[in-house]
Amino acid sequence: MTQPFVAPRRLLLGPGPSDVHPRVLGALSQPLVGHLDPAFLALMDEVKRRLRSVFRTANELTFAVSGTGSAGMETCLVNLLEEGDEAIVFVNGEFGRRMCDIVERCRARVVAIEIPWGRAVEREDVERALRKTSHPKLVAIVHAETSTGAQSPIADLAPAIARSGALFVLDAVTSLGGCPVEIDAWGVDACYSGTQKCLSCPPGLSPVTFGPRALEAIRRRKRKVQSWYLDVSMIEKYWGAERVYHHTAPISMNYALAEALRVVEEEGLEKRFERHRQNHLAFAAGAEALGFRFVVEPARRLWMLNSVYLPRLADGHDEAKLRRRLLDDYSIEIGGGLGAFKGKIWRVGLMGESSRREKVLRLLEALETILRDAGVEFRPGSAVAAAEAAA
Ligand code: PLP
């Protein structure tokens, strides 16, 4: 008989996926029901209701796209854009760049506003871009740039977008469930997220929400959405009152998401955000004691994704080998740099269930050993002590 796959037990401290709560893993092993079973339809309603609460929105059209965060990104853009439309996309990392690619595939005109990697999108950037562009249909921003660790101050820049009349699309893949995301208060028209970051569910679904102005833009489209699978005017008939089959929903993933959202609600959003903040501060203090330097200025650092330059390593050592040793000897996964940051930085994710004090301390202890072996000088025990003192 062939042996079943046995997954190693990892501590997931990379840019996602994050550790999953045992209750969520339990939900995945529940018996399957059909995608039109009344029990499943009730669970879909629960998912919608709980998603509205984490997105802090009253938007009726709030649901989970069958696909990862990229499917949510594509859903928002392909439904809102048509050939000839103009979209401003702020690019301060890898995920803004990907949005530009999708805008082009919609045959819309993309105005890419390049911002140095590691910096947030600021109100002045938005005001300047809007002055230069005549009538953008849409403005898109990544709230939490996972490739750089920068958080853009959405509350601050949203009024400028509102004044322009353009639709506001927000990527909240990494931020949702880890720091405030205020869809209604910020006037966001369409937003997408992912399950595998601060919601601590496996990857596979993308929570999305569409507000009244976005729905109006969809209803006024001249042509059909080019993607059949991601056309929300059809998907809403399955997630809404009509319950018309569109595609077979990933049943078990929806069980898992409902359970993950219950765990979030039991903790409470405010407490959850504060936990992410405290564990970020503890990690930051410990990492700085070891000689790491943050890529992002303190006020714009993400709590759930710490991007750091490594201290100088002795000859013969490099960052990829060190990450491999963390995985092999300590079963801890962290992330390397993407794009311009490849080989230069580490990305330490403290998301959802991975944002726990004991996990931060376990990582810092392991780092003390492997950095010492790589010739980095620091006072033994200083990282753990600094983290304990910080939070
Ligand atoms: N947007 C951001 C900010 C992300 O961090 C990611 C994934 O890391 C994505 C979009 C794409 O999500 P996925 O990899 O789940 O398709």
Whole-number pLDDT of residue 1: 81
| pLDDT beneath 50, residues of the chain | none
* Distance between Cα 205 and ligand 1 center (Å): 11
Atom of ligand 1 minimally distant from the CA of 145: 3
Q: Which of 94, 146, 147, 199 to mutate to test the pocket of ligand 1 (most atoms within 8 A of CB)?
A: 146
Q: Which CATH class is domain 21-266?
A: alpha beta
pLDDT in tens, 299-351: 999 999 999 999 999 999 999 999 999 999 999 999 999 988 999 999 999 99
* Distance between Cα 105 and ligand 1 center (Å): 18
Whole-number pLDDT of residue 242: 94
Task: Residue 198: name the closest of 296, 276, 298, 306 by CA.
Answer: 276
Whole-number pLDDT of residue 356: 98
Q: Which of 90, 174, 196, 304 to mutate to test the pocket of ligand 1 (most atoms within 8 A of CB)?
A: 174
Q: What is the mean pLDDT of the chain?
A: 97
Q: Which residues line ligand 1 (CB under 6 A)?
A: 15-16, 68-70, 73, 95, 142, 146, 171, 173-174, 194, 203
Compute CA distances 169 → 28, 47, 292, whole Å: 31, 22, 34
Q: Which CATH class is domain 269-389?
A: alpha beta
Q: Which of 173, 195, 205 to mutate to test the pocket of ligand 1 (most atoms within 8 A of CB)?
A: 173
The residue ranges of every structural domain in the chain are 21-266, 269-389
Whole-number pLDDT of residue 340: 85
* Distance between Cα 9 and ligand 1 center (Å): 23
Whole-number pLDDT of residue 221: 98
Whole-number pLDDT of residue 34: 97
Is the entire prediction scored with pTM above 0.85? yes
Whole-number pLDDT of residue 134: 78
Sort residue 187 into left (φ over 0), alpha (ψ -120 to 50) or beta: left
* Distance between Cα 31 and ligand 1 center (Å): 29
Q: How many percent of the chain have pLDDT more than 70?
A: 100
Atom of ligand 1 minimally distant from the CA of 70: 16
Whole-number pLDDT of residue 132: 87
Whole-number pLDDT of residue 330: 98
